[in-house]
Structure 1
């Protein structure tokens, strides 16, 4: 007999009483015994924590960690959105954000949701607020309530015991179980806890929209006390996007496989891999920035204001004169002269050379951050 992973609840379709369908409520985390540790999982945990520890060590001494973290958050939000929806890739987002030529409201809303989640708890009221910010932006202050009706996989009703999200009257108790588990369980490895919480949330599917995105915001909420300053530098969604088939397959089939360990191993390995990649990426980022900063400081004729422009480029590697003057408060002519100097030093490149529409690219950083 397969291990127990949840309950299928039979429902009668009110529109067609002859048809029954099923909803799935995942096994409560508070019951424990969700998995068995084996050598492979132990090795994955050791490797993941080693990679996280190395990244944490780098963060302590990285002078540009805030600028790097800003780009990594933008990257996380972009890939998280790309997992579930069509939209521009990260390179395009960098261009749109820096030039103002295009709408990236869904991504900026997600940035606000990730930032707001840092001070919130994994509980239904806060999750509703996070979902509201992710969908509508922080200014709306309009939480999205958990759904009050049954939803169906691919929109189709069948009498098969396939996955349909948790029934509406069981959603809040299931979310309360997640909160209780996080509050009371002090023995489970935090990476495993994050894996289980993400899985549970996706199976419960508490909102009408953005469940995948909110489920991915949950991960840093669970791990913030464990990973600390290194957490904003980890772009988990990029890994999940490039392994989307396996990611979705494991989420959908864990209820049939009868065990959580395959999903847990996938998730722990993903965290370890992205921590390792982030350490390499940040090292390369710091090397590029340090070399260019030294070059600018060694050029005796360079005005001090050029360093202000350069500090802006560390966060926004694709931009225009108009956007930069608005952000920094310099005049158009001043910004134009400074970009011309940076172009002469080989730090930026100019594209679309018509005078008012010039786009300046800090290509070395742009290509580093947007490379898959």
Structure 2
């Protein structure tokens, strides 16, 4: 522990604590958490694979036009992981859900042997992980480390567990994705409800070169401290970004509701459509009608009214295929 790492830990915990305070009183935290999970899954997938960005995912999801099954599978995996443990059977189940979806429920086999990590070094006292030439004992070593170490800061433990899992590389596919799902699993007992709002993968994606470089180089240099500092800073910055976005999100909703209240004598359908926009900030009339149970005409009139009062913007001119975007949420 040096001064730089101590400062990074203090800042990260301060940002997490601030986010936790916001979450406790945020009136629309469930809808925001849903969007943040979608964001986390999208960026985690983008780190390792080519695919649509968040704006495209929001558009496909809100218009029912396109296939985002890989992202939906990741959402299911993150959700399932909240109630699972960090050991081989549960990790195999998480990987299976991430790859094939929850309905398949087919665990992915763990490799028996692999040669991904050779000549590994460590310069940390109390952390000398098993070299993963035999994968199952190496995964068991992670569980033992988490169970036996009660003194290390949880953020440092999360950094080491993520690194160790990536070095073990127990599956044929999705090791990076499952490794990132591990992070909220390690932190769930110390962060609480704010955990699901921290989009770590966005920060890792925008620093992907350094992220990959540190994962590759640490095993040869033994320079865990550089990796830990990078990881702790990434978590802290992600928590700070999430807090800023939650404030912006709640302000946008409050401003929209205030404008509607001052109009007066509005049909309930307008407020139903606004509720839909909280979770689907990019949508079509048809999709909104399907999700709210309202008629096409009722939703169309509600959108036109919100367009008139600068709550939504319109994309496209074809009447039945126009895309509606919540001005303050769908464009951020």
| Same fold, judged at TM 0.5 (above) | yes
Counterpart CA distance in 2 for 1:304 and 1:65 is: 22
- Aligned with 1:315 (options 273, 279, 283): 279
- Aligned with 1:292 (options 256, 275, 283): 256
- Aligned with 1:44 (options 8, 11, 15): 8
- What are the residue-to-residue correspondences of 1:231-270 with 2, within 5 Å? 231-270=195-234
Between 342-351 and 216-225, report the one with greater CA deviation.
Answer: 342-351
Residues 148 and 168, structure 1, Cα contact 8 Å, conserved in 2: no
Counterpart CA distance in 1 for 2:302 and 2:253 is: 17
- What are the residue-to-residue correspondences of 1:161-310 with 2, within 5 Å? 170-310=134-274
Shift of the 312–123 alpha-carbon distance from structure 1 to 2, 3 Å rule, reads same
**Structure 1 residue 259: Cα displacement:** 2.7
Residues 150 and 167, structure 1, Cα contact 8 Å, conserved in 2: no
Shift of the 245–174 alpha-carbon distance from structure 1 to 2, 3 Å rule, reads same
Counterpart CA distance in 2 for 1:104 and 1:335 is: 25
Counterpart CA distance in 2 for 1:344 and 1:337 is: 11
Unaligned runs of 5+ in 1: 1-36, 154-159
SS at 1:365's partner residue? coil
Q: Which residue number corresponds to residue 107 of structure 1? A: 71
Alignment length, in residue pairs?
324
Residues 120 and 131, structure 2, Cα contact 8 Å, conserved in 1: no
**Structure 1 residue 363: Cα displacement:** 2.6
**Structure 1 residue 305: Cα displacement:** 2.0
**Structure 1 residue 86: Cα displacement:** 0.2
Runs of 4+ residues deviating >4 angstroms? 160-163, 166-169
Residues 55 and 230, structure 1, Cα contact 8 Å, conserved in 2: yes
SS at 1:367's partner residue? coil
Q: Which residue number corresponds to residue 80 of structure 1? A: 44
Unaligned runs of 5+ in 2: 122-129
Counterpart CA distance in 2 for 1:204 and 1:363 is: 45
**Structure 1 residue 161: Cα displacement:** 6.2
**Structure 1 residue 336: Cα displacement:** 1.4
SS at 2:330's partner residue? helix
TM-score, normalising length: structure 2: 0.94
Counterpart CA distance in 2 for 1:236 and 1:167 is: 27
Residues 211-238 of structure 1: CA deviation (Å, up to 9, x unaligned): 0000000000000111111111110000
